Structure 1
């Protein structure tokens, strides 16, 4: 160690008190996040003031919360502006929630792929039928991605919690979702959720009463979680093409047994429908 500095902390002591390795302290110095109070010109040895422990602690907390170097640099000055800092951290929290959903979906799919190695999947039975016309209560919106469909169902549940707005006795059995984009989309997905409904509702915030048309569809039953529903849509696509048919409308799902009725994804039953001609 170079000569002592009265009232200052060596890089080793500062590392211990701050909970940051010496390697990371040097990295933060290089990036301009945490510059030593003094550097010995002959040895390059770093010294820190005790007051810098506060800044080091904020850096450590932001790092552990998943913030990168650039984001930490933007957020550090905002500790003197609590309202702005709170707003920025809430935005970061939303981004973490999105990432958590993505990782959860990846984990679920990996588990399915692992179990499928020792199982021979039964062939998907695709058929054609006439889908009856339905009068439905519908909520249509563009959402971030397909898993964000849950946000629409949450909005519908809030509406159903207002007995003066919706007559629960007028609902039928059919529940589903329609996907309007021509192609599969990674983001900005236009969809609608719906429930068969014989009552009335004044249009508001995307909610409306609509009629689903009578239409000829190619359809198949998918059993299990949505992470493996691609196998069913693949089978329908191959079936439609092999018979010289054409898709003539948006694909839609009918949730025979879905998340709203059964928490266990293994018990879910989804009818996947593709209008054809």
Structure 2
């Protein structure tokens, strides 16, 4: 016979958990001393505990484990449960693999953004830009990409020529997103487009990004980190000047933002 401590050591399960299994009727002692209350187990119950843990790790509930261990389940039903669990585990593995791929992509993107930021960051005045553009509002940063794609498709249909520029401005509740082209100072609004003058700023930061279009957002984030290290912060209208987007896997974009000493607002 094994004491509850012995069984715990053999199965690497805590005494507290063995008492819990006893209370649920899953692993009941062979003998309980009526005077001391000490629990005693048969050596064969090591197998039962090991099997219980194995079934738990497969994802079965404790109630299902009890039924399986007591052989109260018809074979066909057991096969069905195992097949279902097999399918669930396969689905989870696929989902985990997809998440791992996304994490690896983001790591590469952030590392690329850090390299671009550290290698190309310059500080200086930013010129005024007159934009002929389409505009919308989004709730948060996660919606910017979809908004840019929709506005770009609409603007492409107008076949306008000129330097493509995206701008972003965070308001109290929404983020204003615009996609347009830089035009001459004498240009006027047309074709349902809005004419806006993005003002010059005395001090700004500029970073040149080269790489997949999907990595631009991470480069904005690394820019904020680089500025913070210099005691600066970005603010106002953020400019995204598309220098070359002919190959979506290797775009060239200039990111610009007004900067000021951190905490000066």
Aligned length: 196
Partner of 1:136: 133
Partner of 1:252: 238
Q: Which has the higher strand share?
A: 2
After TM superposition, give the deviation of residue 181 of structure 1 in Å: 5.5
Q: Which of 78, 83, 86 is 1:60 aligned to?
A: 86
Who wins on radius of gyration, i.e. which is larger? 2
Aligned CA distance change for structure 1 residues 253 and 129 (closer, same or farther; 3 Å): closer
SS, match of residue 79 in structure 2:
helix
Q: What TM-score, normalized by structure 2, do the two folds share? A: 0.53
Q: What TM-score, normalized by structure 1, do the two folds share? A: 0.51
Q: Contact 2:166 / 2:241 at 8 angstroms: preserved in 1?
A: yes
Partner of 1:156: 151
The CA distance in 1 between the partners of 2:155 and 2:121, in whole Å, is 35
After TM superposition, give the deviation of residue 110 of structure 1 in Å: 4.8
The CA distance in 1 between the partners of 2:200 and 2:152, in whole Å, is 28
After TM superposition, give the deviation of residue 58 of structure 1 in Å: 2.4
Partner of 2:166: 176
For residues 59-118 of structure 1, give each alpha carbon's deviation from its aligned partner in whole angstroms, at most 9, with x where no partner exists.
322233239xxxxxxxxxxxxxxxxxxxxxxxxx8x9978864552124335777xx6xx
The CA distance in 1 between the partners of 2:66 and 2:248, in whole Å, is 54
- 1:36-55 alignment, distance < 5 Å: 37=67, 39-40=69-70, 48-55=74-81
- 1:23-102 alignment, distance < 5 Å: 24-27=54-57, 28-32=59-63, 34-35=64-65, 37=67, 39-40=69-70, 48-66=74-92, 101-102=102-103
RMSD of Structure 2 on Structure 1 (CA): 4.4
In the alignment, structure 1 segments of 5+ residues that lack a partner are 1-20, 68-92, 183-187, 202-207
Q: Which of 200, 203, 206 is 1:220 aligned to?
A: 206
